Structure 1
Amino acid sequence: MEPDVAKAEMILPNVLPFKRVQRTSEKHIKGQPKTKHWKHLKQIIQAENFQDYPSDQSNYVNIETPPSMYPPKKYCDITGFQTTYIDPKTNLRFANTDVFKQSRHLPEEMVQKYLSLRNAAVVLR
């Protein structure tokens, strides 16, 4: 069975101007190490002498850091995208107009559940 969509052949030029052409000297040769080597966290911890650092200095082992000086980021309650908009009727944060329209049609219980997820649940009138 053939699909309903007709098959079309795409003809692409040999050289695309936005593609980076890989030179023969840049190709990875088998048996030789790659040019960029990334260390895993375990390798970083083993390489560093964290016991020599002062206890109040933050590093990979110490998770105690001072609070951030930047204001907290706000995210859309429904999609999770970063946003600055708040619906004045429901107090839900929204990312774009489509989400705003959806938030207006949500039942009261759903609005309260979304607000309780970010500890902002209040009784709306």
Structure 2
Amino acid sequence: MPDIYDRIREEVSDKELALWTALTCADPASELIKLSNPEANFMFPKKEVLTLEDHDKFRKALRAPFHRFDTYRIDEVRIFIIDLMAATVTCKVHAEREGRKYRATSHTTWSQASDGEWRIVTHQECKV
């Protein structure tokens, strides 16, 4: 049986992949809302800080072509366990749409909710 820290790393890694799958789909808002703590903040390049306070505003900000990529990959993924119910993930993002490249560093902080699910607290991207 894996130790608790290995399990946390695996669960958070799976959630980070779910986050990026959602971010790169045609309509990410609904899935991001499901993945997020109700007080989550999202910081994307050249956008104001997004919160879930107003779901309509959140959905509007993430409408296509926002992050709609033909391909993407994340690498140099590092998971830092803050405590048994919190972790942060950093990674590099390589994506492309119609020949245009998107390169960024990403940082997501996750917390484990009372139902045991890991949820986004903050997500930030810095375009490089």
For the criterion TM > 0.5, the same-fold answer is no
Greater RCO structure (CA 8 Å; 6+ sep): 2
Q: Larger Rg: 1 or 2?
A: 1
State the TM-score, normalized to the length of structure 1. 0.18
Which is richer in strand? 2
Which is richer in helix? 2
State the TM-score, normalized to the length of structure 2. 0.18
